[in-house]
Chains A and B, each alone.
Chain A
Amino acid sequence: MSWTMIDTWIVVAGVLSAVSCALVGNYLVLRRMSMMGDAISHAVLPGLAVAFLLTNSRGSAAMFVGAAVVGVLTAVLTQWIHGLGRVDSSASMGVVFTVLFALGLILIVRGADSVDLDPGCVLYGAIELVPLDTVDLWVAGEVPRAVVTLAGMFVVDTLFVMFFYKELKISAFDGQLATTLGINAKVMHYGLMTLVAATSVAAFESVGSILVIAMLIVPGAAASLLTDRLGVMVAFSLLIAVLCAVLGHVAAITVPVWFGYPATNTAGMMAVVAGVIFAGAAVGAPRHGALSKAIHRAVLSVRIAQEDILGMLYRLEELGGGRGSSGAVAGVLRRALGVGPIVAGLAVWRLTRTGQVQRTDGRYVLTGAGRADAQGLVRAHRLWETYLVKHLNLRADHVHEPATRLEHITDSAMQERLSDRTGRPRLDPQGKRIPPGSPEDDADGR
């Protein structure tokens, strides 16, 4: 891999377009309007076309304005068809952007006589060409023109988000409240849409059409999985955007080489890197990731299985009439618990390790410590049954299920409160003895 000044400028352009898109894209994600990014970036075509036909120049400024106007028009028309025709909002978006796109196409085909078609530089955007077209800034020397444009766009986006931070927040969260407070949610909506359109157009020329959408949506979506604070989410999304651009370019010039091909285009790889980061966040995010959720569930189910085993062994002892006399083999335990072999195995393993259960003659029996814990659980269960029958007037044969769920979250203080509320009963509704919770009770109960 050889890094040149050209690579640096490519990365700078990529970073700037990615962060500007990600900044406004956050709010699209929050408003559940991600596809609006898609719609706007398709629909700006007629704006570009009309601007070109009117000014007959390929100068950026006119095209920029034209595209931004049509971008806003997309938002307005979508809203209009949605409200006026009661068409589902995603469908009305689909109608608007496909039609505008087709219109733009016809305009260009009919209007521009000899368009110099060069499909080679097309979809990929022209980020590789960015360093070639420079302007001379007297402070910084030769700087690629696209970098200047994108930097300007980023500044505008940043100022907008900074100044209207709380207005954007409230109108995304609760438009009705915003309206009753006198903050016009509609103005914020169209302001945001204007900015999305302008940013899309600015970024469009370097990262290409569809990839604008990747930069609009994916960083915000990934960031929203990583945090529960809006400010942090915005910061994360910017960080992810930078990572996408840098890693995207590095990947574009290295990964294909591993397989014996020359470098591929940067824009595509930026989207791929964004996808990888998103997948990483979706799986590995600390709180909302699939992995952490799965682990949390697994830990919980093992804990519940452990407690169920303790309770079951205790009840078996009650039935068998003596301590250490009964116990159960592993297979019976598993079938009675109704959980998978892995969960049951883990539960038994942990119980043995903590010394609550021991294995004698192939059967599992409670140890002294285990019996004390089991006693607490059974006590909680039977107190809950009593409580549910007494205070919620449930039938005695209906309370086992809820009590089974509640026993796992009941500590000894709660047991005492339950016991007090139910008049310190000795027997539960089915006539089974409620085990004592403390030594005095124990003595009392004998």
Chain B
Amino acid sequence: MRLWFAVVVWLWVLPGSAWAARSLTDSTVGWPGADQLVRVLTLRDYNTRVVVIGTTLLGVASGVIGTFMLLRKRALVGDALSHATLPGIAGAFIVMVHWGGDGKFLPGLLAGAVVSSVLGIGCILAIRNFTRLKEDVALGVVLSVFFGCGVSLLGVIQSMRQGNAAGLESFIYGKTASMLASDAWMIGGAAGVVAVTCALLFKEFSLLCFDEGFAASRGWPAIGLDVAMTGLVVAVTVIGLQAVGLILIIALLIIPPAAARFWTDHLLSMVCVSAGIGGASGLVGAGLSALVPRLPAGAVIVMVAAVLFVLSLVLGPSRGVLVRVMGHRRLGRKIGRQHLMRAMYERMETLGSVPAGGGSGAENRSVSWDGLLGARSWSPQALGRLLKSGGRAGLIREAGGDRYCLTQAGLIEATRVMRNHRLWELFLITRADIAPSHVDRDADQIEHVLGHSMVEELELLLRDRYPQLVVPPSPHTLNGGGA
């Protein structure tokens, strides 16, 4: 029974927006008709227009500033911040009522929110710097204690005789769909300020995100920049809070940048993609909630952002799961194939049957199953699989009697692998000081990574120093000569 009350809490925490969304579509019941669709899509309805534009701009602004917060690993600061506004709003209300004013004077309430969120940030910094507790504890403590303080003040407000507290909470928790033109203007203004500031301070912000200590040591006012960045977050949070609600603004600060990270490794494009995803979530989400009855706008915007996030997670070309999983499996296959190629080649080398220059007789030099099996740690099954896949790729052919041999193409491939392998070994020997960042033995051609001149130098070295060691000729020439 009580649990149900809790559910009700949740219901109520987010939207106002939930119920307001309905007011837009009160005339229709069930799913929208074509007429309605057109009306929403063309933004003909004044209310819809305001809401859609407002949420889109908010998405863009939070996407931009959220990117920097994410890169500074401060994604959850927005969470703590938005909770920390509550005592400020409630306090401002009480103070204003005491001064005999209307408790719901908007600039006063916003000022209260800003003051208490700044205070919250101050507490977070103090906890982090003056105790041994870490960031997560600082955030959690500030978030919960400030919110508790706000809830207590709200309890007081509710029992106040003066002042009309009704609507104060819904004001705090958002009223997306009943957004006014003035709200949209305010969001637009905030978005503009965020965009311009980030554009002007782009270089400084990126330095701050990447290496705060370095920024400070180079004489940048790191603290001032930090204040500016956090100030922008506060601005977006406070403006966004009263427009769209607590959870939504946290989501908009975190999800778009996290999604953008999958698409690019470049900061500027990440900011742009994040702004795009934020804007698109706002646009589509607000539009959907205007179209379909009983869809809370705030929640729908978050769900749209979530869908975009999942798509990015899976498909993102930079860090997406699909790309990485495929890369990993390809790598596994490639390592297996290379091991097989080398085992074959080395067996042939010890048997003295490697044809110089890749002559056509190569196909007759076969290697036994047992010899191959003993060459590496593979299980018989694994070896069988590798041989089969090598056969499918036209590199290996069964020579009968449990013996296998390389085809012409296989010989070229094995030669390439051996050559790369031995040149890399030599590279490690002679250039190990720069090795780790360069060594990519997996590269198709060593030349692609190291450049032709370096490879030639290595070949010369190899001939000079270790005349006994045969470097297989470059498969390019082999290919030309053999085929």
Contact = CB atoms under 8 A, between A and B. Distances in A.
B454 interface: no
Contacts of A99: 251, 255, 302-303, 305-306, 309
Interface stretch (A110-118, A186-194, A346-354, A374-382): A110-118
Interface stretch (A35-43, A356-364, A393-401, A409-417): A35-43
A208 B151 contact: yes
Contact of B13 (A115, A123, A129): A123
Contact of A98 (B3, B146, B302, B320): B302
B160 interface: yes
A90 B257 CA distance: 13
B231 interface: no
Given A58-B4, A211-B144, A221-B141, A101 B10 contact: yes
A49 B299 CA distance: 14
B155 A217 contact: no
Contact of A85 (B15, B151, B313): B313
A119 interface: yes
B418 interface: no
Interface stretch (B126-134, B204-212, B269-277): B126-134
A271 B145 contact: yes
B148 A272 contact: yes
Contacts of A272: 145, 148-149, 152
A270 B148 contact: yes
A114 B271 CA distance: 43
A49 B159 contact: no
B127 A282 contact: yes
Contact of B250 (A60, A64, A98): A98
A83 B279 CA distance: 27
A117 B8 contact: yes
A425 interface: no
Contacts of A429: none
Contacts, number: 294
Contacts of B254: 91, 94-95, 98
B148 A94 contact: no
Interface stretch (B290-298, B369-377, B433-441): B290-298
Query: Interface size class for chain B?
Result: 35 or more
B296 A106 contact: yes
Interface stretch (A163-171, A257-265, A431-439): A257-265
Contacts of B9: 122-123, 125, 208-209
B139 interface: yes
B190 interface: no
B156 interface: yes
A29 interface: yes
Contacts of A102: 14, 247-248, 251, 298-300, 302-303, 306
A119 B144 contact: no
Nearest to A273: B148
B302 A265 contact: no
Nearest to A285: B131
A403 B154 CA distance: 61
Nearest to B259: A95
Contacts of B253: 94
Contacts of A196: none
A282 to B, nearest CB: 5
A269 interface: yes
A105 B299 contact: yes
B79 A265 contact: no
Interface stretch (B56-64, B69-77, B350-358, B390-398): B69-77
Interface string A43-81: 001001100100000101001100000000000000001
A209 B3 contact: no
Interface string A209-228: 11101101110010011000
B136 A34 contact: yes
A103 B127 contact: no
B75 A48 contact: no
B464 to A, nearest CB: 42
A95 B140 contact: no
B150 to A, nearest CB: 8
A288 B131 contact: yes
A84 interface: yes
A138 B76 CA distance: 48
Q: Which of B137, B305, B313 has the most CB of A within 10 A?
A: B137
Interface string A263-290: 1110111111011001000100000111
Nearest to B292: A110
B202 interface: no
A123 B126 CA distance: 28
A221 B133 contact: yes
Interface of A is mostly: helix
Nearest to A289: B131
Contacts of B258: 87, 91-92, 94-95
A14 to B, nearest CB: 13
Given A38-B79, A102-B247, A261-B159, A209 B2 contact: no
A419 interface: no
Contacts of A278: 141, 145
Nearest to B320: A85
Interface string A192-213: 0000000001001110111101
B255 A288 contact: no
Given A94-B75, A101-B247, A261-B160, A275 B12 contact: no
B143 A213 contact: yes
A256 interface: yes
A217 B251 contact: no
B18 interface: yes
A252 interface: yes
Given A91-B70, A256-B156, A209 B8 contact: no
A109 interface: yes
A81 B303 CA distance: 17
A424 to B, nearest CB: 44
Given A38-B140, A58-B1, A282-B131, A88 B155 contact: no
Nearest to A270: B148
A229 interface: no
A210 B143 contact: yes
Given A91-B70, A213-B143, A267 B151 contact: yes
A95 B132 CA distance: 28
B144 A290 contact: no
A109 B144 contact: no
A103 B313 contact: no
B422 to A, nearest CB: 34
Contacts of B133: 29, 221, 224-225
A1 B463 CA distance: 97
Interface in B148-171: 148-156, 158-160, 169
B429 interface: no
A33 interface: yes
A108 B7 contact: yes
B255 A290 contact: no
A414 to B, nearest CB: 31
A115 B141 CA distance: 33
A441 interface: no
Interface of B: 1-15, 18, 70, 73-76, 78-79, 83, 126-127, 130-134, 136-137, 139-141, 143-156, 158-160, 169, 247-248, 250-251, 253-255, 257-258, 261-262, 294-296, 298-300, 302-303, 305-306, 309, 313, 319-321
29 contacts: A29-B137, A34-B139, A34-B140, A35-B79, A35-B136, A38-B79, A48-B7, A90-B74, A91-B73, A95-B251, A99-B305, A101-B14, A104-B10, A109-B18, A116-B8, A121-B8, A205-B2, A205-B6, A210-B83, A210-B151, A217-B144, A218-B140, A221-B140, A221-B141, A265-B152, A267-B148, A267-B151, A269-B152, A271-B145
Given A106-B296, A275-B145, A278-B145, 13 more contacts: A37-B140, A85-B262, A88-B73, A94-B75, A108-B11, A146-B2, A208-B6, A211-B147, A214-B147, A221-B133, A267-B148, A282-B131, A289-B131
10 closest A-B pairs by beta carbon, nearest first, are A271-B148, A275-B145, A264-B155, A214-B144, A268-B152, A268-B151, A98-B251, A102-B302, A205-B2, A34-B140
